[in-house]
Amino acid sequence: MILSRILEEKLGSLYRAGGRIVGGVYLGRGQEAFSAAAGNNLRYGKDVYGPLIRDQAGRIAYGEPLLDTLRTYLGVVTGPMRGRDGNIHRGRPKDGYMAMISHLGSLLSVVAGALFARRLRGTLEDSVGATSIGDGGTSTGAFHEGLNMAAVEKLPLVVSIANNQFAYSTPTTRQYACEDLVDRAIGYGVEGYSVDGTDLLACVATFRTAFARARAGHGPQLVVGRLLRLGGHGEHDDASYIPDSAKHKHEARDCIEVAKKQALEFNWATEADFRTWEEEARRDVDAAQAIASKEPTPDPYRETWHALSTSELVEGQHG
């Protein structure tokens, strides 16, 4: 969580400074506890993960190296996307780490498909898949189709819905008409959980149960976290549409502050520990940035410009 927050602070300041970051910056401030608690149950290279827009903390918990993040945001060729795609779209599908496309909802069935193929080939073992979505993304047809299909196929998939109350600027009242998104679970025949997304301990406990149930063959699990994003939709957005009343609600608590208080209260850590972790995180982020910012950006003359892996079928001279 701390590493994610500090990394995102860096990304935000690089964005504001201008010049170096390619494209937009979309942060997960306020959603770290919910995202990390999910990602923490995943094993890189073993489980399938399809994170979404505000899952920086989950990506780190899953095991993605900092360099992958910085290289992608800086658009350098050494990153997983080689400047061909950017920011939160990054992934390494061959490792089970799916790379999202912008179209919300469409990753759910892809993660489900990876699990389906593993079961078919006898390589599923105890592996599990996880993906997430915002309250807005749950309105897409792709989300409904994907969750229904995963439920029909009874796949070991944990779906988190970060209900941060706004889809860009649209409030939940314009997004869905049911009381609570967790009620949808019944309609799909999957197990549903509702959790305070600002409470790390609650998130950890809920996801632990959900992942254990998925791994044990109980089919998809739907976890809904109540929280508020502590920033704009992206760094270009000042979020002036979020009313003060929302900012004073329980959901607007900073999950990192809450977690820190819990840790100090239960004597799991001291103020000094927190200072050390923050310093370490800063050092690591700076080091990764230093490496990535010296690396080469893509060279259009060296590109193959092949959209097919079968190069004999690429149309060249007549294109």
Ligand X SMILES: Cc1ncc(C[n+]2csc(CCOP(=O)(O)OP(=O)(O)O)c2C)c(N)n1
Q: Of the ranges 99-107, 192-200, 238-246, 266-274, which one interacts with other proteins (CB under 8 A)?
A: 99-107
Pick 165 or 289: Cβ nearer ligand X? 165
- Report the C-alpha gap between 178 and 138 in whole angstroms: 12
Say which amino acid occupies 314: V
What character string, x for contact with ligand X (CB under 6 A) and - otherwise, covers 158-177?
----x-x-xxx---------
Q: Of the ranges 22-30, 252-260, 266-274, 302-310, which one interacts with other proteins (CB under 8 A)?
A: 302-310
Q: Of the ranges 123-131, 133-141, 188-196, 293-301, which one interacts with ligand X (CB under 6 A)?
A: 133-141
91 near other proteins, judged by CB under 8 A? yes
Binding site partner of 166, from other proteins, ligand X, none, Cβ cut-off 5-8 A by kind: ligand X
140 near ligand X, judged by CB under 6 A? yes
51 near ligand X, judged by CB under 6 A? no
Planar angle of CA 86, 96, 127, nearest 5 degrees? 145
N-terminal to C-terminal alpha carbon distance within the chain? 48
Planar angle of CA 184, 157, 86, nearest 5 degrees? 100
Cα dihedral value 69, 158, 103, 89, nearest 10: 10
Question: Tokens standing for 17?
Answer: 């400074």
Query: Residue from 10, 54, 253, 260 that binds ligand X (CB under 6 A)?
Result: 54
Pick 203 or 292: Cβ nearer ligand X? 203
CB 164, min distance to ligand X, A:
5
- Kindly report the length of the chain: 319
Please state the φ and ψ torsions of residue 92, each to the nearest 5 degrees.
-135, 85
Planar angle of CA 12, 16, 20, nearest 5 degrees? 90
Site residues (CB under 6 A) for ligand X? 53-54, 102-104, 133-137, 140, 162, 164, 166-168, 233
